[in-house]
Structures are given as C-alpha cells and as structure tokens.
Amino acid sequence: MGAILKAAYVYSSRDIRVIDVPKPRVEKLDDVVIEVKACGVCPFDLRIYLGLFKARPPIPVGHEVAGIVEEVGKDVTHVSPGDVVAIDAMIRCGVCEYCRRGLDNLCERKGPLPHGFAEYMRFPARYVYRAPKTVDFDELALCEPLACCINAIEKCGELFPGDVVHIVGAGPIGLMFLKLFKFMGLKTIVSEVLDHRVKAAKACGADLVLNPEIDDVEKGILDHTYGYGANVTVLTATSREIFSLALKSTAKAGTILLFAARYPPITVEFDPNVVHFKELRIVGVEARTMKHFYKAFRLITSRAIVLKDLISHRFKLEEIREAFEFALQRKGLKIVVTP
C-alpha cells in the first residue's frame, strides 16, 4: 500500500468526514500532484454540505486551491516539483459546442469534482498555473472566485469612468466586486445589513454604504446618482424584494447581474415593460472560463488586486465541519482551510 493522506468527503446533509485515503500519484503523462496549502470555502461547497447538490456520496469538495507541486507527469514542462501554483479546478472537455465557442464555463461534459480539501490532489497540468514563490497561498487560492467576478463584469457591456455600480451584499464575493470596480475607476455603492460586513465595505473603499434595515436604499442610490440610478447592479444575494429594487434603481441601458444562485429557487414576477423601456440587461453568471481564471491569476500575482484583507478566518483540515458551520452563520468574511 502507498502513502496515506487525509481528505474530506461529504456523506450526507451536514455529514462531512476527514478520512484516510491513498495519496494520489501521477497516472497520466499530463498529471500534476499538488501538496495543498490553502483551499477556500465556497457557497458551492456549502450546498454540497447541506445536501442541495445531488451526487453519489462520498462527495469530494474544495475547488479554490493553491499549493506546491509534488510530482509531475513526463509531458509536463511548465511546472516542476517545488513550484508554487494555483489550480483552475474545473476540467472541461474542450470539444462541446460551448467549449468551442470559448464558453468553457458552460462545458456540457465537465470532469469529476475536484478535491481541494485534502492534503494532496492530482489535476491535469493545463489547469495548473505557476506563481511567484512570494505570493501568499491564501490569496492565491482566491483566483477562482475572483475569476467568476471577472466573468460577470465582462458581461456588463461598455462602462465609462465614473459610472456607478450598486453591489448587493458585502460578503467575500461582494467585496471582490468592490475591489475590481474600484480598480476600473468606477464609483461604488454597497448595500448590506450585517454590521461587520458594512464595516468591511467601508474599509475596502466603497463610496457609499447603505444598510437596508436603516436606509432607504432606492432613494440613496437615486440621490447619489442625480436620479439616474446605478449603471450596474450586482446581486450577490437574491430575493423578490432585491430583484424589485434592482429594476427600480438601475439606470436606463444598465445591467443587472444575477451572480448568486438561489436555494431553494424562487419565482420572481416583474413588469417586462420596465425592462423594455429602460433597455435593461438581465444577465446570469456561471463560474468562469480559463481566460477569466488567467486574468484573476495575473491580478493577484502582480499585486494589482490585494485580497488578504478579505480572509477573516482560517481552519485546519480536521476542523472542516466547524469551518463549514461557521461559514453558514455568516459571521466572518472569506474562510480558508489549510491541511
């Protein structure tokens, strides 16, 4: 028997276990074995944990991964053992209709779920990116969620310097959007009810922060934009009330980004005439393409975007159940698990 390592699997709703499994080894010419140094907790992981993602247990979890190369296959030339790397942990088929269109985030034949909540993982070399050794592992693990935000922003159409963005929610994703939009030279409004996240949005430089439990958010947005409304509204959380607010507070020819999936699903009623006469774009966002991941990787490794201040809590792999339960309570910001 080969070496044994620790890895986390979900067995049923709220039943996650760290168990002993064989250490992955190179099996194919393009394989890379990575020693995991950091893996971020994502809402998708939490949906698996809560039993909202249907797959046969035990289910591997963890796709926001950074680590060190342990071993490479014979055909791998761009990374070597000892290299610090980020992993774009989504295997695409490369030949379906969507992959050929450059929409590989919508690949119809994605590979098996990655396994970042483990001491080691194996992944195809084309998804492994060599980073400077000076980059913080925790930040490097956030290439994936930042890439998803970049995918969303590129769906907004033409934006002008000084345009106004309303970000609904100041969790980790909302704050990543905030940093990206500020990097682009846009004005930012954030609405959030949790006090620690209100403070985080202010600390990250939001031009205006509104608390829906205290403030009239629609009035605040219109007052701040001379009655025009936000050019972009990003919904990192969704409800009927939030969607209704977005329709009213988004400017003509503006974009409403539906970033967050909603569980359980809801049905939203709205007047299509509002969309018609205001020429609104309502756009869904699913994951990221390889191009978006590379852009996020470049932003993080060049220090153009700094995300370290978004990481509020760290847990060890053996504490992963506590990490997931803590994330569900929304008491912190970004949570990272380390072996």
* Mean pLDDT, residues 10-24: 96
Neighbours of 296 (CB within 10 A): 28
Q: Contact at 8 Å (CB) between 173 and 142?
A: no
8-state DSSP, 285:
-
Q: What is 4-147+287-338's CATH topology?
A: Quinone Oxidoreductase; Chain A, domain 1 (3.90.180)
Does the predicted TM-score (pTM) go above 0.85?
A: yes
Percent of the chain with pLDDT over 70: 99
E strands, 150-249, in order: 164-168, 187-191, 208-210, 230-235
Q: For residue range 162-214, what is the model confidence (pLDDT) as tens digits?
A: 999 999 999 999 999 999 999 999 999 999 999 999 999 999 999 999 999 99
Residue type, 133: K
Q: What is the pLDDT of residue 162?
A: 93
Residue 2, pLDDT above cutoff 70? no
Quick one: pLDDT band at residue 76, thresholds 50, 70, 90?
A: very high
Q: What are phi and psi for residue 314, nearest 5 degrees? A: -125, 140
Q: What is the pLDDT of residue 261?
A: 82
Q: Name the percent of the chain in helix, strand, coil, to the closest 5.
A: 30, 30, 40
Q: Output the six-digit token pair for 219.
A: 């009035």
Q: Contact at 8 Å (CB) between 14 and 57?
A: no
E strands, the chain, in order: 4-12, 15-22, 31-40, 59-60, 64-72, 84-88, 120-124, 128-131, 164-168, 187-191, 208-210, 230-235, 250-258, 281-284, 311-316, 334-338
* Mean pLDDT, residues 220-230: 97
Q: For residue range 243-284, what is the model confidence (pLDDT) as tens digits?
A: 999 999 999 999 999 998 888 888 989 999 999 999 999 999
Q: What is the pLDDT of residue 232?
A: 98
CATH of domain 156-284: 3.40.50.720
CA proximity to 174, closest of 205, 210, 149, 194: 149
What three-state secondary structure class fits 61? coil
Q: What is the pLDDT of residue 265?
A: 86
CA proximity to 323, closest of 314, 311, 310, 333: 314
Where along the chain do its domains lie? 4-147+287-338, 156-284
